[in-house]
Amino acid sequence: MKKLNSQLDRIQSSGKPGFMMHMVAGYPDLKRSEKIATQILESGAALLEVQIPFSDPVADGPVIARANELALKNGVTVEGSLLVIERIAASTEKPILIMTYFNIIQNYGVEQFCKRAAEIGVQGLIVPDYPYDEEQDNSLIKYSHENDLALIQVIASTSRADRINEIVKHASGFIYCMARTGITGRKTDINLQTIKYLESVRASSDLPMAVGFGLSERSQVQELKNYAQIMVVGSALIKEYADIPIDKGLQQIKKFMIGLIDV
């Protein structure tokens, strides 16, 4: 987690938001997803969130769900995803995080998954459906801590203050705030309710805050940058390289990120 904490310190010291970009391992295939990761990192991402494809990605909208579906259809496995993530992590000094659903971790073995993630250079895990109330039976927080992995807590915009206080007790690295309810992809309108929600999370924790779900435009970043240190972008990025030749897709990634990050 040292690499992650150092990067978070740099982001906070810079006074500008850092960007965590989201991609799906094995989409459009394993080889091209490595090239996509490289381009994302070279185009200015501060962190990279790599999703292990899953058949029932409940938090994901149609763009990311389709990327999951196509990766699985192409035969991408958990182990194949981890091998790609290992190569990506070895190629950069920037923090790589795994996003996945708890079913995958549970089937792999919680302790074994955390050990494997640490061995391949991953800095943290994002598991949006993890029932931390059932930690005694599952031990994901325990094994993440033992393997020096940040376990990023995801907080819904509808969470009550007491629930937020309880969730942040288990947080490490940073806190991931959903800018709205529902699934990823649909554009989020930033309003007073959004700001009040982010302020309530800030009042509960000193950890850096990330905000995602529906971010795609520089104007949204401008509205949010005083309330969160990390902007998370997934669906809008994947749209840039979906269904086009890889060379053109890499160019589109660079163009999109330059327009988004230059704030």
29-87 pLDDT, tens digit per residue, is 999 999 999 999 999 999 999 999 999 887 788 999 999 999 999 999 999 999 999 99
Residue 116 vs residues 104, 121, 123, 125: alpha-carbon distances, Å: 13, 9, 12, 12
Q: Distance from first CA to last CA of the chain, Å, rounded?
A: 27
The catalytic residue among 49, 69, 129, 217 is: 49
Determine the average pLDDT of the residues in 197-208. 93
- Clarify whether 60 is annotated catalytic: yes
CATH number, position 145: 3.20.20.70
Distance CA 56, CA 243 (A): 22
CB environment 81-100: b (16+ within 10 A), e (fewer): bbebbbebbeebebbbbbbb
Where do the DSSP E strands lie in 9-51? Answer: 18-24, 47-51
pLDDT higher for 108 or 191? 108
Range of the domain at 100: 2-261
81-85, 176-180, 188-192: segment of lowest average pLDDT: 188-192
Number of structural domains found in the chain: 1
The percent of residues above 70 in pLDDT, for the chain, comes to 95
pLDDT value, residue 263? 47
Q: Of these residues, 29, 60, 119, 135, which one is catalytic?
A: 60
Can 42 be counted among the known catalytic residues? no
Cα separation, 169 vs 230, whole angstroms: 20
Amino acid 188: pLDDT: 57
